[in-house]
Amino acid sequence: MKPAALKIMPLLLGLALLTGLSGCGKKTRPVPPDTVLPAPITDLSYHLDEKGVALTWSYPRRTVQGDRLPYRIEKFELLRAVIPAKDYCADCPIPFGPPIEIIAESSDKGRVSYQELLLRPNHRYVYRVRSKAGWFVSSDASNTVSVVWDTPLLAPGNFRIEEEDKTLTLRWQPPTGLLDGTPVSDPIRYQAFRSSDGGETFAELPGGLMEGLAYTDKGLRNGRAYWYKVRAVRLHAGTQAAGLTSPPVSGVPRDLLPPAPPQKVRAVATREGVKIIWETVTEPDLAGFRIYRRSAQSQTPERIGEIGGAGLSYLDAKLPKGKGVWYYSVTAFDQGRPANESTYSLEAVYEVAE
C-alpha cells in the first residue's frame, strides 16, 4: 500500500465511525474525528485511608475542541500499574496492566468514583483513566496519580474529649506500631475529623496534618453533640501512609461559668412557716434557685427546695419544732447540662424562741 493511502486510512475509519454513531441512516457532512473526541480528564485525584485508595474524577462534558459532547460516555478505562516500591523508577516507562472497565452511570453527571481495596504493602500504585463512547471513540489518558501503600499504623490510643464552653479539646496517645505489630521509627502526623450527626460522613478539621497530640475545636454550640475521629499518618520514604481510624467519640460543649449568687436574702415568719425572700439575678441563662438550711450545730447546709424561672421566694413549711437558730442561704443555677450552680448567698438568720 502506498504511503499516501496509509495516511488517509485513519481519517476514513473516523468518518465511518461517526456515521455509525448517528444511527439514523441519514447522510451528514463529514466531521473531523478530533472535533468530537472527549477531552481528556484532568482532575483525577485520590484519597488514601486504612481501607485502600479511592479515586475520583469529573464526568466528561466537552470535546477536545470545547464543544458539548454529542453522545453519552458509555464507560471508563482505568489504567493501573502495580510496582514494588524498591523497583520504582520515576523516569522509566510505566508498566500499565490491562485496563479495568468501569460502566458510566447515565444519571451521574458529576463526579465518578472507584475504590480499590486489599492493596499490597510496600507497593506503588499508578493510575490514569480515559473515557470511551464506543469501540473506537476514546479520549486520551488523564493526568497521572501515584500512591504508595504500606501496612497501616494502628489507631491512636486513649482518644478522649474534654468539654468546655463552646469548645471541645481532643486528646490522644501515639499508636503503638503497625497493624502487624512492627514498631515505627518514622515521623507520625495526625488528622482529626468531625461529624455533627454521628453518621458515616466525617469532615477533616482545619489545620491538616498535626504533630501534636491534641486539637481544640472552637466556636461550637453549647448543648449540641459532636462526634470525632482521629488517625495517624506515617511519613515514610517521601510518602504519606494513613493509619487506622479511632472509633468515634462524642462530646457536648457546655457553659462552665456559674451565675452570681442571690443578694439580700431574708427569712420572714408567717403563719404557714418561714418565708425566704431574695433579689433576682441578672443572668441571661438563669434557670432557677435552690434553697438551703442549716442548724447552728451544723456546718453543712442541706438543700430543702428548688424553684424554677424567676421566682424570688420560697416557703419553708417543714421547719423542725423546738427552739433554736436556723440559717438560710440561696444559690442560682443556669440552663447548662449539667447545670452550673452559684456559690451560697450570705445567710439569713431565723431564730425560734419557744
Identify the residue whose cell numbers are 423542725. Answer: 320
Paired strand residues for 178: 153
Distance CA 63, CA 66 (A): 5
Of 147, 182, 204, the domain-final residue: 147
Q: What is the average per-residue pLDDT within 186-210?
A: 91
Give the pLDDT band (50/70/90) at residue 346: very high
d(CA 34, CA 238): 40
Task: Note down the domain range covering 170.
Answer: 157-251
Look at residue 184 and tell me if it is in a domain: yes
Same domain, 228 and 184: yes
Q: Is residue 311 part of a domain?
A: yes
Find out whether 235 and 186 touch, Cβ atoms under 8 Å.
yes
Write the pLDDT tens digit of every residue in 139-176.
Answer: 999 999 998 887 888 999 999 999 998 999 999 999 99
Closest CA relative to residue 177, chosen from 158, 151, 215: 151
Average pLDDT, the chain: 85
Residue 199 lies in a domain: yes
Predicted confidence at residue 34, as pLDDT, reads 61
3-state secondary structure (DSSP) of residue 191 = strand
For cell 473506537, the residue is 136
Q: Let me know: does 79 contact 57? Beta carbons within 8 Å.
A: no
Same domain as 243, residue 161: yes
In a domain, 258, yes or no: no
Q: Is residue 185 part of a domain?
A: yes
pLDDT band at 248 (very low <50, low <70, confident <90, very high): very high
Q: Is the pLDDT of residue 208 over 90?
A: no
Q: Is residue 33 over pLDDT 70?
A: no
Distance CA 320, CA 214 (A): 54
pLDDT at 12 over 50: no
pLDDT in tens, 88-129: 888 899 999 999 999 887 544 588 999 998 888 888 999 999
More confident residue, 127 or 46: 127
DSSP single-letter state for residue 179 = T
78 and 133, same domain (yes or no): yes
Residues 37 and 66 in one domain: yes
217 within a domain of the structure (yes/no): yes
Query: Of all residues in the chain, what percent carry a pLDDT higher than 90?
Result: 53
Q: What is the CATH number of the domain that holds 299?
A: 2.60.40.10
Task: Quote the number of domains for the chain.
Answer: 3
Structure confidence at residue 286 as a pLDDT band (50, 70, 90): very high
